[in-house]
Amino acid sequence: MCGLGEMATWLPMPSGFTGYAARFCDPALGFAIGWTYVNLSLLSHYHCVWVTVFLMLIVSINYFGVRFFGESKFWLSSFKVTMVSATFVYLSTELVSVTISKAENPRKMIPRAIKLTFFQILFFYMISILLVGTLVPYNHPKLVFATKKSSSAAASPFVVAIELAGIPILPHILSACILLFVFSAANSDLYIATHTIYGLAREGKAPAIFARTDHHSIPVYALIISSCFSCLAYMNVSSDSKTVFKYFVDLVTIFGLLTWISLLVTHIHFVRARRVQHVSDSSIVYKTPFGVAGSYFALVVCCVIALTKSYDVFTHNKNWGRFNYKSFITAYLGIPAYLCLIFGYKLVTRCKGVKPEEADLWSGKDEIDREELAYLARKAMEESTRRRGNWVYETFVAWLF
């Protein structure tokens, strides 16, 4: 996230991180990361009527544009924040890069969004796990069944903690909250898929029809094709829904890890290009706290996790002698698909990697600088005429969010 923020504040691009990968590292990497991220978003959407109702709502929200999407996401997230739950991890932290071109002042808003994401994960996820660990005994009977097919949401440690507190109605409220969290996540995923396909089409890496927009600047055709993949959610209605869900989780996880790996590689190449072209650190609006060393460390961690996250398919277990090929395929299918996208694009286009001295760090930056100066001048004029009460309120909101 920090590396992405450093690139985004230097040069906000409508195509997001696919554009950064193509410009600073390799056009083939931009092509691969774009379609990998589309697969991640499309496969993340999850009794048949409810699936239809939620799909209609999600598609409608995305059709009415980024402003309505932002409002809905704000209220859903505000409601979510009031519920301390580890389901925060449903949300994609890279969403900020997809909405770069929609931000009024990206060089100010992107660092704030990245810092907020860090503290949200720290408080609403890490601390909540710590608190649940102190409230629920590790050997509680209901937790034993958490990995069995007969288990339900009642096996959640959060629900167990509520039951231990003697509150009979709250578990049902928790289930309703989780439903809203999933709705918010699906809404975000459809937005990501739509605008990533739109960005790929603008760069010539997807059919040109997906770059067309209506009079509200909504990429309608990209939205339609993304919405069609949402029908995969109906697979969850089958009797083997838990097995299907596990397969989708495995696929989404590997695609997500490959996306992070690509982002880290792109940031490393961006820093190399800056140093070769003598761009000083003082000219960078937002710099990663741990620099390029942090990106290298995160890259190693992500690679290790991607290769070992499903190691259990290789270990000896009660089904010794019966290799679970289905789990193996869904767990590692993304890696050969990702490599095929990279080398297939190279084979077709004959493109080469971008050398640090040839990386385009400047095209479009002058326009962004002018827009930022105009924005700052407009804000300065507004602040000079603002009443004292409004200034205090807006300053507090800016500090909070």
Burial of 262 (0-12, 13-18, 19+ CB in 10 A): buried
Local mean pLDDT, 10-residue blocks, the chain (401 residues)? 82 78 90 81 54 66 55 47 37 56 70 75 76 79 55 62 80 74 75 84 89 86 86 67 72 85 93 92 85 93 87 63 76 91 92 91 86 82 66 56 51
SS3 288: coil
DSSP 8-class letter at 156: S
| Alpha-carbon distances of 310 from 14, 118, 218, 247, 254, rounded to whole Å | 35, 27, 39, 12, 10
Name which of 245, 223, 219 is nearest 45 in CA terms.
Answer: 245
pLDDT value at residue 399: 54
188 token code pair: 């975000």
- How many angstroms separate the CA atoms of 44 and 2, rounded? 24
Map tokens 């095209």 to a residue: 363
Are the C-beta atoms of 229 and 42 separated by less than 8 Å?
Answer: yes
pLDDT of residue 299: 95
Q: If we measure between CA atoms, which residue out of 168, 219, 172 comes closest to residue 191?
A: 219
Residue 263, SS3 per DSSP: helix
What DSSP designation does 11 have? S
Q: How high is the pLDDT of residue 336?
A: 93
CA dihedral sign, ordered 155, 158, 159, 164? positive
Domain locations along the chain: 2-127+183-363
CA 264, chain centre distance (Å): 14
pTM, full prediction: 0.72
